[in-house]
Copies of this chain bind each other. A is one copy, B any other.
Amino acid sequence: MKITRKVKLILKNYESDNPGTKGNICRILMNGKLGGTGKLLILPVDQGYEHGPARSFAPNPEAYDPHYHYKLAIDAGLSAYAAPLGMIEAGADSFAGQIPTILKLNSSNSWSTSKDQAIHGSVDDALRLGCSAIGFTIYPGSDYQLEMMEELRELAFEAKEVGLAVVVWSYPRGGNLTKKGETAVDVCAYAAHMAALLGAHIIKVKPPSEHVEQEESKKIYSKMNMELLSDRVAHVIQSSFNNKRIVVFSGGAAKDVEGLIEEIKQIRDGGGHGSIIGRNTFQRPREEALILLDRIIKIYQNKD
Hey, which bits of chain A sit against chain B, CB under 8 A? 13-17, 48-49, 51-55, 58-59, 61, 64-66, 84-94, 107, 109-114, 116-122, 124-125, 128-129, 140-141, 143, 145-147, 149-150, 152-153, 157, 172, 175-177, 186, 189-190, 193-194, 196-200, 214, 216-217, 220-221, 223-224, 235, 238-239, 241-242, 244-245
Contact = CB atoms under 8 A, between A and B. Distances in A.
A224 B113 contact: no
Given A15-B93, A65-B242, A198-B85, A52 B125 contact: no
Nearest to A65: B242
Nearest to A214: B110
Given A118-B149, A241-B64, A53 B141 contact: no
A57 to B, nearest CB: 8
Contacts of A120: 149-150, 152-153, 197-199
B140 A109 contact: yes
Central interface residue in A94, A119, A242, by most chain B CB within 10 Å: A242
Identical subunits present: 5
Central interface residue in A119, A120, A238, by most chain B CB within 10 Å: A120
B113 A66 contact: no
Given A54-B190, A114-B146, 19 more contacts: A15-B91, A16-B89, A49-B193, A52-B186, A52-B189, A54-B186, A58-B223, A65-B244, A86-B199, A110-B216, A111-B140, A111-B141, A113-B176, A116-B146, A117-B146, A119-B153, A120-B197, A120-B198, A120-B199
